[in-house]
A and B are shown apart, each in its own frame.
Chain A
């Protein structure tokens, strides 16, 4: 098709107008609690349908894991003859706010603990039972149930004092290039947040919604599974579930979403 300069300039103007109209739309959007300052929850990057799925407690498939978790909560396991409910009460109310604080620095262990490793600590030391495997259905149910108790409460992790060393390591990991593609976390989630990576819309990589029901996974998954996915996509060798590197990174990434509401179980594509 041949066009004279008038038509071409009109076309450019139309495109520029389209782009600016779109940008204005994105700026004007009011995300309520899902945006705190510059922090935007992954929720704001989803389609209306996916958001509707998360909002409706019944439709949200992640709630199946919450239900399973609440059953496990009062199930007696191990030689000590205890269940979670024996120490923490029947309803799980005592877990309110836990998801906002974790990962925390554990003085006794001398290392960072997240909800998963804390569950296994209780299983081994208090209940004298076998620890759960990291991405097992029991572990996912229990973490989803525990984090769900803090639904809507703002993230507030402590990164000073004894946790500072781990926080700095996590930060270094975030900005460190890795893998054959030589990319750091920040290249996608800080520099190009809101852009497209092939068919995917890049979010800020906030983890306030974890454990998240991911439509691609067709199930709930942990933060460390997400980290492993990202690492292997930049052609790096992923670290192990529960490794020190991911614990530190989890603390740092959670801090990047300070103030965002806990959304567990969130629904993402």
Chain B
């Protein structure tokens, strides 16, 4: 597992039915591209998060495949329409197989 990985998400606490809300996520990660050379002249092995996905009440709402050119500490925001109260669950999948998770609840009135 890469060091110091910490996900952060921001989802509005409340929304009206049918609202389109913005969801923001940020995760600390070095996102080593695998193309840089270290001081010894050898390639630094690739270590990135290669997939991000979000679900709402278990149903997928958004997902993205990330490539080596994505910056360190990747920020991703997207929009979703909410019709009912529930929970957004977020998942980041690392090259080494570890999964970083986060979740946030929203109340729809």
Chain A positions within 8 Å of B, measured between CB atoms, are 53, 58-59, 61, 64, 67-68, 137, 215, 218-219
Query: Chain B residue with minimal CB distance to A64?
Result: B28
Instruction: List 6 A-B pairs, Cβ < 8 Å.
Output: A59-B24, A59-B26, A59-B75, A64-B8, A218-B30, A218-B71
Interface residues on B, range: 10 to 19
A218 to B74, CA, bound (A): 10
Query: Chain A residue with minimal CB distance to B74?
Result: A61
Decide: A61 near B4, CB < 8 A? Known: A215-B71, A218-B72.
no
Partner of A64, one of B6, B10, B24, B77: B6
For the residues of B in contact with A, the DSSP-based class is loop
What total of A-B pairs shows CB separation below 8 Å? 30
Q: Is B73 close to A, CB under 8 A?
A: yes
Query: Chain A residue with minimal CB distance to B24?
Result: A58
Chain B positions within 8 Å of A64 at CB level = 6, 8, 26, 28, 73
The 4 closest A-B pairs by CB, nearest first: A218-B72, A61-B73, A64-B28, A58-B10
Chain A positions within 8 Å of B72 at CB level = 61, 218-219
Query: Chain B residue with minimal CB distance to A215?
Result: B71
A137 to B3, CA, bound (A): 11
Chain B positions within 8 Å of A215 at CB level = 71
**Interchain nearest-CB distance for A136 vs B (Å):** 12
Name B23-41 residues within 8 Å CB distance of A: 24, 26, 28, 30-31
Chain B positions within 8 Å of A218 at CB level = 30-31, 71-73
Contact A58 B71 (CB under 8 A): no
A68 to B24, CA, bound (A): 20
Q: Mark B72-88, 1 if CB is under 8 A from A, else 0.
A: 11010100000000000
